[in-house]
């Protein structure tokens, strides 16, 4: 019961932090204003007050009872205490930790100020409590779970993220980031950057009014607006597993310019080289960055035969059929498990090529094609592919202009396929007959746990019956799985996906 309670409570702030940019930016600002010593260093010997408080204790503590009635052994701090105090005080110049007794190590760590230079602490201190203090001091909202439960990793990831977010090409010194590299290379596994600042242009102010009208002029200056080149950084991080990038600017307000959101070809090439060189990368996300077909192809080509890549997310871009075809090729040349092309411009041909790849694929688990326009042709092709595929469990085809023919094929798939657990066909025009056919297909299926058919012109009756069948399936799945949390997992897993819209 506790689990169910904790998971939503944790997921709520994460949603809010992502969905409301104001708050996260305020975090950044707060951190950028500089660290404020919120926690007063309590190094005072803890025995002292205790000795004074209890008279009996004093009696016991006083070994020599003489004229000096004030004298007590408790007043004199222990030598070890003094040493530890000294070590803490001079830690920046003379870090002594490893040589100490474990007990003293603990004491030293608990008394260290969290604003020590990273060069001293990064590779020396492993203690989570210290890093936790550092994190709490710098960021008011901390989700350790998103960083593998390690405060140290979280600290470095967030630190690096902040540096990257505020990096301005041409003005900021790239050495500032690269100098951090030897300190954080063993700890950083994820880079999530949702803004890349363009280089500062000297005359932006007078022309800003003109440029806001037409974005055409921005393209002329494209070579000048390259963003930070991730290549060196990514090459240095030997444990990097996740890259989550958005080439865009946050909180531009009235300073909006089209070229603030440009993902240039040079950026694209450098990013492609970076991810190609990074052999440990598992998750690659590049969203809301105006990636068109050509750039998508460049990126995907660099990912071909990547040894570790499992998830590719290119949602909210401008990818068309050619990019989809490249992604389909990638499917057969990698071990991709999750592919998301949500909110792109994939049409029937792209969906067909994806379906062709899907028919013989044995690794892809999740495919998201939300808000594309694959229409019935693509939908039918995908349904045909699903008849042979034995691996895919999640399929999102919401908002794809699908209608009855796809539904008929999908109902056949439902009666055959035993791996699919979640299908989303919301915001389509499936129609009454299609709904009935899907209901028929559902009656033979025992594995599907989720089937979203909202706003798809289906009769309420069939929707209700389908939901009944789903309930039965879920109950059966719950019975099959010994773990009671199983039936909760699809719902919680769905959580982070939803707020993206």
Partner 1 sequence: MNPPGSLGVQEDKEEEHLSTPILEPSVHSDNPQERIQARRLRIAARLEARRREALGEYLDGKKETEEDQSKSYKQKEESRLKLTKLLLCGTELVTNIQVAADIRETHRRVEEEEIKRQRLEKLENEVKTSQDKFDEITVKWEEGKQKRIPQELWEILNTQQVHCAGLIEEKNKLISELQQELKTKDDQYVKDLKKQADDICLLLERMEEQVKSVMKTFRQELHHIEKAFEVERQELLTSNKKKWERALQAHNAKELEYLMNRIKKVEDYEKQLNRQRIWDCEEYNMIKIKLEQDVQILEQQLQQMKATYQLNQEKLEYNFQVLKKRDEESTVIKSQQKRKINRLHDVLNNLRSKYNKQIKQFQEENQSLTSDYKRLVMQFKEMQKAMRHFALIDDKQFREIWLMNEEEAKDLISRAFDVDRIIHTHHLGLPWTAPDFWFLKNVGPISQQQHKSATQILEEVLMQAEEEKAEEAASESESYLELPKQVSAKTTRKILMLLCDEAGFLIEGKLLSLLQPLEKNERYLLRLDAVFSALGIETEDDLYKLVHFFLKYQAHRSPPIQMSPWYLRLEQTSLVSALEPQELLGLGGGEGSLAEGEPPGKEPLCSPLLIHPNDVLKILEAFVMGLRKPRDLRAPAKLLKVARDDSKDSEYWKALSTVIPAATLSLWDVLYTALEKYHLILTQRAELLIENRSLEQQNTELQQLLQQYLDSKINTQLQVPPTQVFRVPTK
Distance, CA of 110 to chain centre:
31
If binding is defined by CB under 8 A, does position 493 make contact with partner 1?
no
Beta-carbon neighbour count of residue 412 at 10 Å?
17
- The total number of residues written for the chain in this structure: 501
Part in contact with partner 1 (CB under 8 A); list of ranges 179-187, 188-196, 290-298, 448-456: 448-456
Taking the complex as a whole, the smallest distance from the CB of residue 207 to partner 1 amounts, in Å, to: 21
What one-character-per-residue DSSP string does 87-120 give? HHHTTTTS---TTS-HHHHHHHHHHS-TTS-HHH
The minimum distance between CB 9 and partner 1, in angstroms, equals 8
Q: List 340's β-bridge partners, or say none.
A: 313, 368
Verify binding: residue 15, partner 1, rule CB under 8 A: yes
Distance CA 162, CA 319 (A): 29
448 in contact with partner 1 (CB under 8 A): no
Hey, is 55 helix, strand or coil?
A: helix
Taking only Cα atoms into account, the Rg of the chain, rounded to an integer number of angstroms, comes to: 29
Q: Which is nearer to partner 1, 103 or 213 (CB)?
A: 213
CB closer to partner 1, 256 vs 418:
256
Question: Shortest gap between Cβ of 12 and partner 1 (angstroms)?
Answer: 5
487 belongs to the binding site for partner 1 (CB under 8 A): yes
Which of residues 81, 292, 452, 463 is near partner 1 by CB under 8 A?
452
| Structural contact between residues 235 and 191, judged by C-beta atoms closer than 8 angstroms | no
Q: What is the DSSP letter of 30?
A: H
Residue 12 makes contact with partner 1 by CB under 8 A? yes
When asked if residue 398 is in the footprint of partner 1 (CB under 8 A), the reply is yes
Which runs of consecutive H residues, i.e. helices, occur in 214-319?
A: 216-220, 231-236, 265-277, 293-303
CB neighbourhood size of 53 (10 A): 9
Which 19-58 positions form the footprint of partner 1 (CB under 8 A)? Answer: 19-20
Q: Does 401 contact partner 1 by CB under 8 A?
A: yes
Q: Give the Cα separation of 188 and 190 in Å (integer).
A: 6
Phi and psi, residue 312, nearest 5°: -130, 125
Measured from the CB atom, is 121 or 424 closer to partner 1?
Answer: 424
Interaction of residue 384 with partner 1, rule CB under 8 A: no
Q: At what angle do helices 460-480 and 431-444 cross, to 10 degrees?
A: 20
Print the binding letters for residues 61-90 with partner 1: x by CB under 8 A, - otherwise. Answer: ------------------------------
CB of 491 to partner 1, least distance (A): 5
Contact string 405-444 vs partner 1 (x = CB under 8 A): ---------------------xx-----------------
For the CB of residue 19, give the shortest distance to partner 1 in the complex, in Å: 7
**Contact present, 412 and 382 (Cβ < 8 Å):** no
Distance of CA 391 to the CA centre of its chain: 25
Interface size with partner 1, residues (CB under 8 A): 31
- Tell me the window of 15-23, 167-175, 253-261, 352-360 that interacts with partner 1 (CB under 8 A): 15-23
Of 54 and 479, the one with the shorter C-beta distance to partner 1 is 479
Q: Which of 35, 49, 170, 501 is close enough to bind partner 1 by CB under 8 A?
A: 501
* Residue from 454, 461, 464, 485 binding partner 1 (CB under 8 A): 454
Which residue in 416, 419, 413, 373 sits closest to 397, CA to CA? 373
In the shown chain, the binding pattern of residues 357 to 376 toward partner 1, with x for contact by CB under 8 A and - for none, equals -------------xx-x---
- Residue 5 touching partner 1 (CB under 8 A): yes
Nearer to partner 1, 148 or 499 (CB): 499
What is d(CA 289, CA 377) in angstroms, rounded to the nearest whole number? 28
The span of 94-102, 178-186, 252-260, 482-490 binding partner 1 (CB under 8 A) equals 482-490
Q: Is 208 in the site for partner 1 (CB under 8 A)?
A: no
484-to-4, 262, 418, 421, 467 alpha-carbon distances in Å: 11, 47, 22, 18, 21
Instruction: Please report whether residue 4 would count as binding partner 1 according to CB under 8 A.
Output: yes
Q: H/E element holding 42?
A: none
143 binding partner 1? (CB under 8 A):
no
The backbone region for 287, taken as left when phi is positive above 0, alpha when psi lies in -120 to 50, beta otherwise, is beta
- Give the pairing of strands 422-424 and 394-396: parallel
Tokens standing for residue 115: 């604003």
What is the x/- site pattern for partner 1, positions 222-241, by CB under 8 A?
A: --------------------
DSSP state of 497: G
Q: Starting from the edge strand earliest in sequence, which strands make up the sheet with 311-313, in order?
A: 190-193, 242-245, 283-286, 311-313, 338-340, 366-368, 394-396, 422-424, 450-452
CB nearer partner 1, residue 311 or residue 452: 452
> Rounded to the nearest whole angstrom, what is the least distance from the CB of residue 456 to partner 1 in the complex?
9
Alpha-carbon gap, residue 106 to 95, rounded angstroms: 14
**Which span (35-43, 241-249, 387-395, 484-492) binds partner 1, by CB under 8 A?**
484-492
Which residue lies nearer to partner 1 by CB, 13 or 170?
13
Provide the binding-site residues for partner 1, judged by CB under 8 A. 1, 4-5, 8-9, 12, 15-16, 19-20, 370-371, 373, 398-401, 426-427, 452, 454-455, 474, 484, 487-488, 491, 494, 498-499, 501
């Amino acid at each position: 019961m506790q689990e169910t309670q904790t998971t939503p409570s944790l997921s709520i702030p994460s949603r809010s932090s992502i969905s409301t940019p104001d708050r996260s930016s305020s975090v950044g600002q707060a951190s950028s204003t500089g660290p404020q010593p919120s926690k007063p260093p309590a190094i005072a010997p803890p025995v002292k007050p205790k000795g004074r408080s209890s008279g009996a204790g004093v009696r016991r503590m006083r070994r020599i009872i003489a004229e000096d009635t004030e004298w007590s052994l408790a007043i004199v701090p222990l030598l070890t205490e003094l040493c530890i105090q000294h070590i803490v005080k001079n830690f920046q110049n003379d870090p002594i930790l490893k040589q100490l007794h474990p007990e003293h190590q603990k004491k030293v760590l608990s008394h260290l100020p969290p604003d020590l230079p990273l060069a001293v602490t990064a590779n020396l201190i492993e203690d989570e409590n210290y890093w936790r203090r550092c994190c709490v001091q710098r960021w008011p909202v901390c989700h350790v779970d998103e960083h593998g439960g390690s405060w140290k990793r979280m600290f470095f990831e967030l630190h690096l993220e902040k540096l990257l977010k505020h990096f301005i090409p041409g003005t900021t010194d790239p050495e500032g980031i690269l100098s951090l590299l030897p300190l954080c290379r063993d700890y950083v596994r994820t880079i999530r950057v949702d803004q890349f600042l363009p280089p500062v242009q000297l005359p932006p102010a007078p022309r800003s009014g003109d440029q806001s009208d037409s974005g055409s002029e921005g393209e002329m200056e494209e070579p000048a607006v390259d963003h930070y080149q991730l290549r060196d950084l990514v090459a240095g991080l030997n444990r990097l597993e996740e890259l989550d990038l958005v080439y865009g600017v946050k909180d531009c307000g009235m300073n909006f310019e089209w070229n603030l959101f440009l993902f240039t070809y040079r950026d694209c090439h450098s990013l492609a080289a970076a991810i190609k060189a990074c052999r440990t990368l598992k998750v690659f996300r590049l969203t809301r960055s105006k990636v068109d077909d050509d750039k998508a192809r460049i990126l995907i080509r660099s990912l071909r035969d990547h040894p570790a890549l499992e998830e590719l997310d290119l949602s909210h871009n401008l990818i068309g059929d050619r990019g989809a075809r490249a992604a389909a090729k990638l499917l057969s040349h990698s071990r991709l498990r999750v592919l998301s092309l949500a909110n792109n411009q994939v049409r029937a041909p792209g969906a067909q090529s994806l379906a062709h790849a899907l028919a013989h694929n044995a690794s892809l688990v999740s495919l998201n094609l939300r808000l594309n326009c694959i229409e019935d042709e693509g939908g039918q092709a995908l349904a045909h592919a699903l008849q042979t595929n034995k691996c895919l469990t999640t399929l999102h085809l919401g908002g794809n202009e699908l209608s009855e023919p796809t539904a008929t094929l999908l109902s056949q798939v439902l009666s055959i396929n035993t791996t699919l657990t979640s299908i989303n066909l919301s915001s389509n025009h499936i129609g009454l007959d299609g709904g009935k056919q899907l209901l028929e297909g559902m009656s033979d299926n025992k594995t599907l746990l989720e089937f979203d058919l909202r706003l798809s012109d289906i009769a309420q009756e069939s929707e209700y019956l389908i939901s009944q069948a789903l309930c039965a399936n879920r109950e059966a799945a719950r019975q099959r799985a010994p773990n009671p949390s199983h039936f909760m997992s699809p719902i919680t897993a769905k959580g982070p996906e939803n707020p993206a819209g």
